[in-house]
Structure 1
Amino acid sequence: MIDTTRTVSRRTALAASFAGAAALALSACERGTLTKPAPADTLSLFNDNPSWTPGYHAAGTELRRLGGYRLAPQAVPNVSNYQQIVRMSAQTDSTADLVKWWNGYRLRDVARAGILADVTGAWDEAKSRGWCDDPALRETFTADGRQYGVPLYKSYYAVFYSKPVFARLGVGVPTTWQEFLHVVDTAHARHITPISSGGATSWESSIWFQQLVNGLDHQFYLDLAAGKRSYTDAECRQAMGVWSDLYRRGAFSSPDASVSDLPGRFAQGTTAMCLHGTWNTGAFLTAGIKNADLGAFLLPPPPGGTSSVVVESGVLAVSAKAHKRQGALDTARTWFDPAVQRAWTGFLRDTSADPSVVPDVGAVREVAAQVRTQRPAQAIRYWEASPPVLIEGNVQDLSAFMIDPTAARAARTLASMQRRAEKEWKAWKS
């Protein structure tokens, strides 16, 4: 990952050092360079996920019908390269009209550099039309009181489970922590991996950390992410203790497990569950898991915890120097329209920022129904919840813990995370 929390002069130095790589990647885009405007009815969309191209085209069909513009997605699949290129091209004539990004502190980082346009009006219109009135989500798109992007999706971190495996084990969807532990123990006793959980070398090491801290104490999680509490506080120690206990029970797969292998493991009946964002639903279905065989539920909190859920939302942003700035701004407003959202989420098979738009996918509908009835407190995903350099360093510490999930390692992990927090919060505020 790149360093995204330093000063403008640091960014300038990074831009110079990566200029050659950026030029090479831009020249490889499916529609050539971005130095010229797209055709009259087209907006260029820079993103990091080539597999989403059909979804962007589907959404673009509705956008063109409603507002006159379709989308021409251009993808750079390497995330690190993508971030570098967006930053370097943003102040030049090589920028795209629209950019896919991340919310929270990652959005604030680029917004304060002047890379993105203000789209506050899009949120105001969506609220007035009843399409999206979600103050907590809106705050994660905010820098200095203004919004700099609209939500591509709104994913919940839920437990995917294999319905055939649950039936074979004779267990139901757990509604308490003790019932969840019963599922874990039953699967382990039958030589089925209870939970597939990777992260030894990736951001996914933060998934169970965020889940347990937020589940044990939602307000503490928010304060921790905001730099108001310490990683060595009792709440974090308790969360790491619960995580260690799950390892002791044999709950998890090897930490080098890959999320791309999950559909195969579900199909083979060798694993029962996986905690992940609902944006991953499509990967299961595309790989051949039947809709009727895939379920999902919100993980019950550990004893003494609170009803809460971690939320992730991608960002559709307008480049400050977009070739078709007004068209891009109008498209950001139209993106909230339910017709566009139905086309987009129908492809993505995930939930929308508009709670009335839910794709016809069983697992996603199950999660949406739980959110609607339980109304859990919602927290931004850890990856976007604090300054990027802090998160990226802490993710490495959490990966090391997953390889050696002992109490001693947990204590060292939290101490290291806190030292980094003190340093990086000071750098962020300077």
Structure 2
Amino acid sequence: MIARRTIAAAAAGLVLAAVALTGCSGGGGNGGGADGGETTGTLNFYTDKAAWKPDFESLNDTSGGDVDITLKTTGYSDANQYDAFIKQSFRTNKSPGLFTWHTGDSLKQLVDEGLVAETSDIWQKAIDEGWVSADLAKGYTFDGKQYCVPMNIAYWIMFYNKPIFDENGVEVPTTWDELNDVAATLKDAGVTPYYQTSILFTFQWFQHLVASTDPELYEGLTTGDVKYTDPEIVDVMNIWLDEHEKGWFSDAGSSTDPAVGLKQGDFAMINFGTFYAGNLAGAGMSADDYGMFAIPAVNPDLDKTPVAVESGPICVAESSSQRDLGLAYSEWWMSADAQTAWNKAHGDVAFNPKATVSDPALAELGTEIAGDDYQLYDRFFEAMPTEIVTVAIEQFGAFNANPGDPMPYLEKIQAVADEYWAEQE
């Protein structure tokens, strides 16, 4: 999944262009490619996920039959080398017809420079067909237009050890109070409720506490309208501190693989992306050993429970000789048939609720979250500017390692935020 750093700043709001599909290419009205508009054939595809090459090319039989397009995939294992290659290609006549990229500021930079093809009509069709949630389009929307399409998504949810829950007579919680009761019961029984770490993945509890207390508060952090030192954020951090003081979190400095830790009962729950089901399977856990649930909202008065979503895009270079071919494939990629084939090859939840998901538990969870009771928001990594994220994950890690008055940690984050937002004026 998208384990490496993706760059941030969520698009604020969604304004879909009400345009009709034009031709077969699914393009956004920015002009045709140099190939004269061919929309069938072999498409050159570049990705920084080299290990996924067999998964991508396993779809060739399906895409070849459906739209007469097959992929020729070139994979890069080194993320920095890949980014440099893609950026360099825009200055040549060999810019890629299809390539994987990152949402947030990294995508915005390409959009601002006119380097990626618009996909507004593809998104409009997908939403009209019920292939994708309008919430997901927010991270692909710039100045009211969409660019790229989602390669895949992951919902950040809670995994739990089923035998531990059963042995201690606790059930999957549906409210924040119930979740706290589960944590208290487990702690009283000598079981650590939650996993935590002091490196890299330190942000997820913060993002949930803020977004599920007040989604507008979280949105304000993405635009600089809310400061990390504001009283509302301090209050959220104090909820986190209170849970620390109750002993609800595992040793932040543990070197044990968290999948192994969940399996052997070092803790009962772990907040991670749905892709982590693959890690748990790799650790020897089956559907009998673990389950998953959407984390209840802190604020019971919210109409919908916020769920963090992580999404990585597939893009088409505007200047590519295969522009129209790439856009035709992108349109097909959004379909239920394409996403069913992709899920069979790669697993995880599907962004298209009409796709068939191979894992029954993931299928059930994906259907639930795609329903009317939940709303999606961009994961912290994607939602916040890179400079702020870098410092924030360090400070959240320091807080996990040495929990105490949250203000010193928040002040360090806000100092970087002040500098960043001042430069944007």
Same fold (TM over 0.5): yes
TM-score (norm 1): 0.82
Are residues 1:236 and 2:218 paired?
A: no
Identity of aligned residues (%): 27
Q: What amino acid does structure 2 have at the position aligned with 1:412? A: P
For 2:258, which of 250, 258, 262 is the aligned residue? 262
Q: Distance in 1 between matches of 2:373 and 2:129?
A: 22
Q: What amino acid does structure 1 have at the position aligned with 2:104? A: G
Are residues 1:418 and 2:414 paired?
A: yes
Deviations 1:180-231 (A, max 9, x none): 2232233334443322223x231x1111111111111112111221222111
Tell me which protein shows more helix as a share of its residues: 1
Verify the 8 A CA contact 1:292 1:362 in the aligned structure 2.
Answer: no
Q: What amino acid does structure 2 have at the position aligned with 1:231? A: Y
Q: What amino acid does structure 1 have at the position aligned with 2:139? A: T
Paired position in structure 1 for 2:36: none
Paired position in structure 2 for 1:289: 285
1:303 is displaced (CA, Å) by: 5.2
CA 1:242–1:102 in structure 2 vs 1: closer, same or farther (change >3 Å)? same
Q: Distance in 2 between matches of 1:366 and 1:235?
A: 34
Paired position in structure 2 for 1:82: 82
CA 1:209–1:77 in structure 2 vs 1: closer, same or farther (change >3 Å)? farther
1:400 is displaced (CA, Å) by: 2.2
Verify the 8 A CA contact 1:98 1:328 in the aligned structure 2.
Answer: yes
For residues 15-26 of structure 1, the aligned pairs below 5 Å read: none
Paired position in structure 1 for 2:60: 60
Are residues 1:225 and 2:222 paired?
A: yes
1:266 is displaced (CA, Å) by: 3.0
Paired position in structure 2 for 1:108: 108
For residues 43-192 of structure 1, the aligned pairs below 5 Å read: 43-93=43-93, 95-132=95-132, 134-192=133-191
Q: What amino acid does structure 2 have at the position aligned with 1:143? A: F
Paired position in structure 2 for 1:20: none
Q: Distance in 2 between matches of 1:250 and 1:78?
A: 39
Q: Distance in 2 between matches of 1:74 and 1:263?
A: 31
Paired position in structure 2 for 1:26: none
Paired position in structure 2 for 1:371: 369
How much is the aligned-residue C-alpha RMSD, in angstroms? Answer: 2.7
Q: Distance in 2 between matches of 1:354 and 1:377?
A: 15
CA 1:246–1:108 in structure 2 vs 1: closer, same or farther (change >3 Å)? same
CA 1:303–1:353 in structure 2 vs 1: closer, same or farther (change >3 Å)? closer
Verify the 8 A CA contact 1:162 1:293 in the aligned structure 2.
Answer: yes
Q: What amino acid does structure 2 have at the position aligned with 1:336? A: M
Q: What amino acid does structure 1 have at the position aligned with 2:261? A: R
Paired position in structure 1 for 2:335: 337
Deviations 1:75-114 (A, max 9, x none): 3334344334332333334543322122233321332133
For residues 273-352 of structure 1, the aligned pairs below 5 Å read: 273-302=269-298, 306=302, 307-352=305-350
Q: What amino acid does structure 2 have at the position aligned with 1:47? A: T
Q: What amino acid does structure 2 have at the position aligned with 1:420? A: V
1:2 is displaced (CA, Å) by: 9.3
CA 1:297–1:115 in structure 2 vs 1: closer, same or farther (change >3 Å)? same
Paired position in structure 1 for 2:381: 383
CA 1:83–1:211 in structure 2 vs 1: closer, same or farther (change >3 Å)? farther
Q: Distance in 2 between matches of 1:425 and 1:100?
A: 28
1:246 is displaced (CA, Å) by: 1.8
Q: Distance in 1 between matches of 2:186 and 2:88?
A: 49
Deviations 1:115-139 (A, max 9, x none): 322122221222343323x332212
SS in 2 for 1:71: strand
1:170 is displaced (CA, Å) by: 1.9
Q: What amino acid does structure 2 have at the position aligned with 1:174? A: P
Structure 1 residue ranges without an equivalent (≥5): 6-39
CA 1:395–1:110 in structure 2 vs 1: closer, same or farther (change >3 Å)? farther
Q: Distance in 2 between matches of 1:89 and 1:332?
A: 20
Deviations 1:330-381 (A, max 9, x none): 1111111111101112333222222222513243234234425561232111
Verify the 8 A CA contact 1:106 1:384 in the aligned structure 2.
Answer: no
SS in 1 for 2:43: strand
Deviations 1:259-307 (A, max 9, x none): x923322332333111111122222234432123321111122355632
Aligned residues: 389
Paired position in structure 1 for 2:29: none
Q: Distance in 2 between matches of 1:371 and 1:224?
A: 24
SS in 2 for 1:243: helix
1:154 is displaced (CA, Å) by: 2.9
Q: Distance in 2 between matches of 1:3 and 1:313?
A: 9
Verify the 8 A CA contact 2:203 2:396 in the aligned structure 1.
Answer: yes
CA 1:359–1:4 in structure 2 vs 1: closer, same or farther (change >3 Å)? closer
Paired position in structure 1 for 2:31: none
Q: Distance in 2 between matches of 1:341 and 1:364?
A: 14
CA 1:45–1:283 in structure 2 vs 1: closer, same or farther (change >3 Å)? farther
CA 1:257–1:119 in structure 2 vs 1: closer, same or farther (change >3 Å)? farther
For 1:211, which of 208, 211, 214 is the aligned residue? 208
CA 1:110–1:185 in structure 2 vs 1: closer, same or farther (change >3 Å)? same
Paired position in structure 2 for 1:14: none
Verify the 8 A CA contact 1:206 1:382 in the aligned structure 2.
Answer: yes
Q: Distance in 1 between matches of 2:372 and 2:289?
A: 24
Paired position in structure 1 for 2:398: 400
